Structure formats: structure tokens, C-alpha cells
Amino acid sequence: MSEEKATLPPLAATIKKALPRAAYVPGLTKTDLDLRVAPAELLVLVQGLKDNPALDFDYLRNMTGIDMQENGLELKYHLYSFKHGHTVQITVATPPGESHLPTLTGLYAAANWHEREAAEMFGFVFDGHPDPRNLLLEEDLRIHPLLKAHPLQPIEVVQGIEDGKAGFDF
């Protein structure tokens, strides 16, 4: 970690100074600072990132789930500050069968739709979400099509473009 710590962007030091008690582990992606946080600490961290004037992460850019198979699910949050022009990724790992996270709808209006999609596609449960209805699938359909264990996943791979070149010829 010491080599990685030396290469962390200045934003990492700004966050550490602004939120000295926040429980997270900093890391890097190819484009962003990544903060790994436990589900129980997520809301406190995001609230600090949004409310602290030195950080001012005022925009929830995106959320996406990742099926880590036997290691459970991960959810990636991408935040942006219009005031400062910086970005951060937050990674929350959930153990298998325990995909409960606090909702961020009280902090970001966009979380409503992002969380509904993540719940529908991966099976995350956002505790306190005001409207957990499905966005794309029928309301009574309880499958999670983006899980690797989804029964149609092998068929989709066979039917996909994995064996040929990507895209279309125009």
C-alpha cells in the first residue's frame, strides 16, 4: 500500500483532512480516486463528501453493480463536484446474500433511479428507498438479469458477439 499511497492524487489528502474520522480505504482506478467503504459507513462518508465545502461532491454521476460471484456484489458510486471539478469513485462490497445498503435518495435525487436499476438488475436492497418499484421489468418479476448466475446468462453469451468482431458493418 505504501507505493500506492505515494501515487494517490492530491484529492486523497484533501478528503483525509476534511473527513479525518471517515472509515474508508483509498485506492486508484485508471481515472479516479477510489474509496472502499463498508456498507454501514457509506452514508456517513457520502454525507461528508457532499456537505464539506472543501469537497462539495454535489452530483451523483452514476452507480453500477458488479457481480463478484462467490465474493458477493459490489456497488460503484461515481461522484463529481461542479465547484471543484474533481471526481471520486466509492466502492461498497457486500457479502453473498447480504446486499443491503442505505439509500442515498436523501442526498441525491438521481439516486432514486440509479438505486431502482441496481436493485432490479442485481438484487441490491436499498434500505429506506422511497419508491423501490422496478424500472424496466414487470413489477412482479423477481429475477436479476445482470447476475452471472442468471439462468439465461450462458445463452446470452453464446448469442452475443464474443466470437466475432464488435459492432455492425454499415
Residue 84: CATH number of its domain? 3.30.460.80
Instruction: Provide the domain limits for residue 139.
Output: 2-159
Is 12 inside any structural domain? yes
The pTM score is 0.83
What's the pLDDT tens digit per position in 36-86?
999 999 999 999 999 999 999 999 999 999 999 999 999 999 999 999 999
What's the pLDDT tens digit per position in 118-160?
999 999 999 999 998 888 888 777 778 788 776 655 555 555 5
Q: How far apart are CA 158 and CA 156, in angstroms?
A: 5
Report yes or no: 33 and 11 within 8 Å, Cβ to Cβ.
yes
Q: How far apart are CA 46 and CA 52, in angstroms?
A: 10
Is 39 inside any structural domain? yes
Is 145 inside any structural domain? yes
CB neighbour list of residue 96: distance below 8 Å, 6 or more residues apart: 70, 71, 72
Q: Number of folded domains in the chain?
A: 1
What's the pLDDT tens digit per position in 94-121?
999 899 999 999 999 999 999 999 999 9
Is 168 inside any structural domain? no
